[in-house]
Amino acid sequence: MRRLLPGPTTDVDAADAYALDKATYLRANMVTSADGAATFHGRVGPLTGPPDQQVLLTLRALADVVVVGAGTIRAEGYGGPLVPGSWQRWREASGREVHPRLAIVTALLDLDLGAPPFTEAPTPPLLLVPAGCPADRRAAAAAAADVVDAGAGAVDPAVALRALASLGLGRVVCEGGPRLLTQFLARRLVDELCLTIAPTVVSGDGRRLTDGPALAPPAGLELAQVLEDDSYLFLTYRQR
């Protein structure tokens, strides 16, 4: 991996490139094709590759919690440990919990509680839900996960972040999907947008990076870093 901005450098270590000395922050980590598609046939998987996976695992390892929407959980096949053994050992040596937590944003708790995110996770996932979600589903979910209220009629992004911070999970990486990312951007809660541009053109009608009402005003970004590996571009934007 090489750095193009700031200061061109070769042989950059991803952990050093993305190190951030803050106890609380929100990073969003997303990938798009070169022609702007955030999914291909409904999934992100076809857009990714080894360099992007390296960055994905690095950002997870540096975080306390990985936040995703329920739709992304269903589409992308999450399950088991979020980082491999080498990163688990690094986290333990760094004084962190061995495993970053998984937090799923869901309004209706319409999730398969027998799926790998619940049965194969080394620690129970967190479910970020509105206080008014169905009581019967909440009771069933409580047997497989830790249910956390994060809003009234709908999940409130700011309340969700405060709830995570109260649990000691202040370093957050959000992996989407586009609708959840838009909610965080609309509230100006994203400290960094880590955007991978895959060396792929897909055409079709794949979703955009964001999905929701137009932001008013648009969220201004400042380019802080550009990395490259095997024709993948890794852009780090910070909100102005």
Per domain, the residue ranges of the chain are 14-239
Helix (H, G, I), strand (E, B) or coil at 61: helix
Is 42 a residue whose pLDDT tops 90? no
pLDDT value for 132: 87
pLDDT value for 84: 97
- pLDDT per residue as tens digits for the range 151-207: 998 999 999 999 999 999 999 999 999 999 999 999 999 999 999 999 999 999 888
- pLDDT per residue as tens digits for the range 103-118: 999 999 999 999 999 9
CA–CA dist 160, 131 (Å, integer): 12
The domain made up of 14-239 has a fold known as: Dihydrofolate Reductase, subunit A (3.40.430)
pLDDT value for 52: 97
pLDDT value for 240: 85
CA–CA dist 102, 110 (Å, integer): 17
pLDDT value for 72: 93
Is 45 a residue whose pLDDT tops 90? no
Question: Per-residue DSSP letters for 12-50?
Answer: --HHHHT----SSEEEEEEEEETTS-S-BTTBSGGG--H
Tokens of 54: 């390296």
CA–CA dist 25, 141 (Å, integer): 28
Burial level of 191, CB count in 10 A (0-12/13-18/19+)? middle
Residues 6+ apart with CB under 8 A from 13: 1
3-state secondary structure 70-132: HHHHHHHCCCCCCCCHHHHHHHHHCCCCCCCEEEEECCCCCCCCCCHHHHCCCCCCEEEECCC
pLDDT value for 141: 95
Helix (H, G, I), strand (E, B) or coil at 228: strand
Tokens of 18: 């993305």
Question: Per-residue DSSP letters for 141-188?
Answer: HTTTSEEEE--SSS--HHHHHHHHHHTT--EEEE---HHHHHHHHHTT
Sign of CA dihedral 164, 208, 18, 49: positive
Residues of the chain with pLDDT > 90, as a percent, come to 90
CA–CA dist 7, 149 (Å, integer): 44
- pLDDT per residue as tens digits for the range 202-238: 999 888 999 999 999 999 999 999 999 999 999 999 9
Mean pLDDT of the chain: 95
CA–CA dist 230, 240 (Å, integer): 30
pLDDT average, residue stretch 81-110? 96
Using alpha carbons, select from 14, 68, 9, 35 the residue that is nearest to residue 234: 14
pLDDT value for 96: 95
